[in-house]
Chains A and B, each alone.
Chain A
Amino acid sequence: MATPGTDRQFAAAGDVADVVVGTAAVGTAVFGTVGVLRSVIRLSVAGLLACAALSGVQAQNPGPIPQVTVDESAQAYRRIHVDVEYEPNEAIAGFEIWYSDTAFVSIDDAELHSVIRVAETENLAREPVGGAFDECWSGGLPLNRDGAGNLVVAPGASNWSCSLSGMVPGVEQWIAVVPTGADGGMLLDTEGLEPVPGRTDVPDERTPPPDTRPVTYALGSVILSAIALLSFLYWRDARRGRSRSRLAHLYVAPALIALATLTFYPILYGMWLAFTNADQTRLGDEAWVGLTNFLTVFASPGLWRVTLFTFVWAISNVVAHVFLGLVLALALNSSGLRGRTFYRTVLLLPWAIPGYISILAWNGMLQPDGLINAVLDTGIDFFAGATSARIVVILVNIWLGVPFMMMMLSGALQALSTDMFEAAEVDGVSRWDQFRFLTFPNLKGTLVPVSLLSFIWTFNSFNTIYLLTRGNPYVAFGEPGATDTLITYVFAVAFEYGRYGVAAAWSVVVFLMLVGFSWVYLQRTRATEAAA
């Protein structure tokens, strides 16, 4: 499963790499430590920038040395608080924070912790609270992040402080801050650093097990009320003298209780969660926060884009499913077709093969070195561009869904009376007119519910997009990706960002949208049927 930030913060890693490559190139020539290996991996990410950066490293004047102090009073769990003061200087384009659990003089013996850029901060958006690992301040205000997720400090500032995360408790850590120039090169002698020791003694502590009693009580009361309802109905039947149905309630009871506990209760629980601040760290002791989550949903920058794409995705799929399914069903049902069983069996394959396998197979075929590119003799990365990725996920899902529609419509076609068509044949009605005036109107009774069902399924489908693109390509920090639908985005909010409350609010909004659409669709089709 993806951890927060693997895909969505990829652009950030790229920017970090820009700054690091200079060091990597120097280090590779001299040492061979783990740190270098790490940098080399980055080097390959950043590509060709290394050569450009190499030339400028030693030529820089040693810049002003930042004064680093560790604030022991601001200890936090796995965090060390550092204050950094320096003379503002135009040559400084950023800072790198290096750390190690031993005293080090060369960054080759240390690990890069974070990168802070010096740039104009005017137009940057505030980062969401709790959305990132490090928290940094300058002049008492939290630092903003740029579009790629890097912390940014204003050019005029002369100090900043950071609460560095990921520090092992009870162990001395050595921290050094190195300013970097505009070309990514270090402004300090990287072989003679004087790191500052610091430690956090807040102990490792298991979070207390969540209080499960409310859920247990709720489940118990749901079961009890289901039993009470069934007993009441049983008693009412007995009083009315319907002796034949004596056992009916007993037969229905297991299924109904199972549904009540594992479907009704979760639905209600989900609606409750939408009004609370539940997240990964608060489980079982979430608190009521009113409509905050819904405000978050409606204020989120990608809301309309992701909604629009979801509807485009669902509607284009349903139209293609119904059209292709109908054409194939008509072809399979034409009289005297040889090899009908063979054709039908093969055409059923996309439905018979487990969905995740065929989706992953398409994923492989669409890779730049995959089959499609081999056949076309090209090297296109279909998942790189927003438009091409969107088209590809829709096409793959069409491929998956046609057989189901084909079989449903095929069944409906077989149920039509053949007399009607024989009569039409005798009267010399053309094939097209037969379809238009006989087949299609008689199929409507099947088409309306089946297309609605297909819409709901496609709207709710998760596997195709998750297994093909995971919502990528990346659009902007914290926003849904270009191929995210509402469903995959709700999944990301819940299980990648860990914000259960917000995800529950999204779910409620999605559900209302779906109900609204289905209702309008049924009303409209009924209206057209009444008019026809």
Chain B
Amino acid sequence: MTTRTLAERWYVPAEIRALRGWIPFAALVNLVVAGGETLRGEGDSLRIVVAAVVLFALLRLCLPDGAGAWRRQVARPIALVILILGVYSLVEGQPTPYELWASTWLLVPSALTLYWLSAGLSGTWSAGNGDSRVAELGLGRNRLVAPRLEKLALHTFLIHAIGLVVVPVVWILDVAVSPGNILGGAIGDAFTLDHFRTVLGGENFWVWTRNSVVVAVGTTIVGLLLAIPAGYAFSRYNFSGRKGAMFVFMLIQMFPGIVILVPYFMVMKTLGLLNTSIGLIIAYSVTALPLCVWMLKGFFDAVPRALEEAAVLDGCTQLEVFLRIVLPLSLPAVAITALFSFLTAWNEFLLALVFNTSNDAYTLPVGLSSMIPATGQQWGDFAAASLVVSIPIVVLFVLFQKALIQGLSAGSVKG
């Protein structure tokens, strides 16, 4: 073998590197498509997709390494076969979004492979003709191309992830504005506001909303009244029993809810608090209490002690220090904790299901799920109600996401 320059030894075209990552991913996507075709029982398409998976695997093994031409001579026909399979399935299949997407995952990777193995610097390199001039040019080009290809891959991946996330959302939107009770059907083929009228004009929705608001606001107030002093004490004072109490607060978060579900129910029943908002408020503020205390402790820790000491020197009592200095300073943090307990109470399902047996006491989660019983499901009304309920919540969540996540990770992980 002739001696190779450093550039030659270093050089692998960015395109080939990209293919090394993309082709397995394409195989993976086609494996998913194969699962779909198995469900559909479409023998021909299934055979095509399985063949494509095998061919992609072979293609990955035969990607050129720049040493000789034989790999390119094997890889190019394989890519061509996949391309032909893609064209075939595109022509034969119906033009539904799903089938178009499936054929795209045959066409694009194979076409890119063919192009990059044939043309340009990467083509020359794959043919085994990569001399030092090609390598030097190519290394320069790589600096330009590699980040772009990486971005392309990243965006493709993220767009697929977003597609998976968004599907139920789009579906709810579509069902909410579609007439009747249709679950499938084309997206955006009809428009009506009937479901919103039914839901907002009916009595049930407002009863549930009122219960949810009372419970969530009550939980927030009671929860904060309990959690703020405790969080402050844990943050500032070194008192007997501090360590034990903090450990207990952490341990309780780990406790399975089901263990206390039955006794909780019995206690509420004996106290006559079933089917009341007060029962739920008490239950929620106590179950959310440990996490709230931990979150608040973290926030109070961040308030400098020097301020308090100065206030004490100026003659403030401890209570005044807390109310006039610490509380106003950590107000944003308190707001986040409040939002957190509000959201918890707003979304909670299991306790509300167990404690409430009458429609008048239902909160929104139980009420909305009661619209989907085993028979007589009102999907359209449910979807409309879901939109009305979740849009404000999602907006709140998105606006405060950073702070919420920060507080939550402080409460759950660091603890």
- Which residues from chain A sit less than 8 Å from chain B, CB to CB? 1, 6-7, 210, 212, 215-216, 219, 229-230, 233, 236-237, 242, 244-252, 254-256, 258-259, 262-263, 265-267, 269-270, 273, 278, 283-284, 328, 331-332, 334, 336-338, 343-358, 360-365, 367, 369-371, 373-378, 380, 399, 407-408, 411, 446, 449-450, 453, 456, 459-460, 462-463, 466-467, 487, 490-491, 494-495, 500, 503-504, 507-508, 510-511, 514, 518
Contact = CB atoms under 8 A, between A and B. Distances in A.
- Tell me what chain B mostly uses at the interface: helix, strand, loop, or mixed: helix
B368 A255 contact: no
Nearest to A449: B413
B108 interface: no
B382 interface: yes
Contacts of B264: 262, 266
Given A248-B242, A361-B171, A503-B262, 16 more contacts: A247-B318, A252-B234, A254-B229, A278-B266, A328-B161, A332-B158, A334-B150, A343-B158, A364-B382, A378-B39, A459-B256, A463-B350, A490-B261, A500-B266, A504-B262, A510-B258
Interface string B257-295: 111111111110111000000000011011101100100
Interface string B225-262: 11101101110111111100100110010111111111
B190 interface: no
A446 B386 contact: no
24 contacts: A1-B357, A230-B241, A244-B237, A251-B230, A255-B229, A258-B285, A259-B249, A262-B264, A267-B263, A269-B267, A278-B266, A349-B169, A353-B169, A354-B389, A354-B390, A360-B372, A365-B168, A375-B96, A399-B164, A446-B413, A456-B254, A494-B262, A503-B262, A510-B256
Interface stretch (B78-86, B132-140, B329-337, B394-402): B394-402
Contact of A507 (B151, B168, B183, B259): B259
B26 interface: no
B340 to A, nearest CB: 13
Contacts of A408: 405, 409, 413
Contacts of A358: 168
A349 B166 contact: yes
B386 A357 contact: yes
Contacts of A446: 413
Contacts of A248: 233, 236-237, 239, 242
B229 A252 contact: yes
A215 B272 CA distance: 12
B349 interface: yes
A262 B372 contact: no
A290 B261 CA distance: 21
Interface residues of B, number: 104
B202 interface: no
Contacts of A273: 262-263, 266
Nearest to B405: A407
Given A345-B401, A349-B166, A449-B413, A460 B240 contact: no
B154 interface: yes
Contacts of B256: 456, 459-460, 487, 507, 510-511, 514
Contacts of B240: 233, 236-237
B191 interface: no
Nearest to A511: B259
B195 to A, nearest CB: 13
A460 B261 CA distance: 12
B175 interface: yes
B167 A495 contact: no
Interface in B359-415: 365, 368-369, 372, 374, 377, 379, 382-383, 386, 389-390, 393-394, 397-398, 401, 405-406, 409, 412-413
Contacts of B286: 258-259, 262-263
Contacts of A348: 397-398, 401
Nearest to A272: B263
A270 B264 CA distance: 8
Contacts of A456: 254, 256
A270 B289 contact: no
